[in-house]
Copies of this chain bind each other. A is one copy, B any other.
């Protein structure tokens, strides 16, 4: 019997996954972490928030790598003993530490940032992925994110590629593949509110189980 659940939410751009996560947190009255996570990580490390924002859900590129390996101003070797690592990797490590600390505090919802992989050894984590059909994603990209009508589809595709690159770089799993997650959902079938309710039903059943079989490493 589990008393807390950490929900990690992966999502396609424009799928409404972030809204599902936020609503889930509201309904269960537990903390919700998305960009807020970045601010927290920044605060703990003493590094600038802008650095984290620029690196947010981006994998290390070789160009960036060489730049960092050269003379990138890290505040005089801000992170002792890690100066040989690319900046994005250092930021990822700091962020992972923050994610672990948050997960240990109790139930919460964490969106993106490889949180499912970071927390792979915890028994009370439910890994969820939200996707939707392209027409709905385009609509959401235009209405919620102010994307240009003609460019909205390519923005969705580009953002997804970026997220996939980030995820696949920092984990040994594949973003968007069903077996990476405990549950994946098309948010268009039940709508956002219905999707939240299904996840709550799932959690109620999950809490009654012993341990978590997915913990077995492959």
Question: Which residues in A have some Cβ–Cβ distance to B below 8 Å?
Answer: 12, 126, 129, 131-136, 176-179, 181-186, 188-191, 194, 197-198, 201-202, 205-206, 209, 212-214, 216, 218
Contact = CB atoms under 8 A, between A and B. Distances in A.
A132 B133 CA distance: 25
B181 A133 contact: no
11 contacts: A12-B179, A132-B213, A136-B213, A176-B177, A177-B178, A178-B181, A178-B184, A181-B186, A188-B216, A189-B214, A194-B205
Copies of this chain per assembly: 2
A190 B209 contact: yes
Given A182-B189, A197-B205, 8 more contacts: A133-B218, A136-B213, A177-B177, A182-B186, A183-B185, A189-B212, A198-B205, A201-B201
Nearest to A129: B178
Given A190-B206, A205-B198, A133 B213 contact: yes
Residue among A12, A184, A191 with the highest chain B CB neighbour number at 10 A: A184
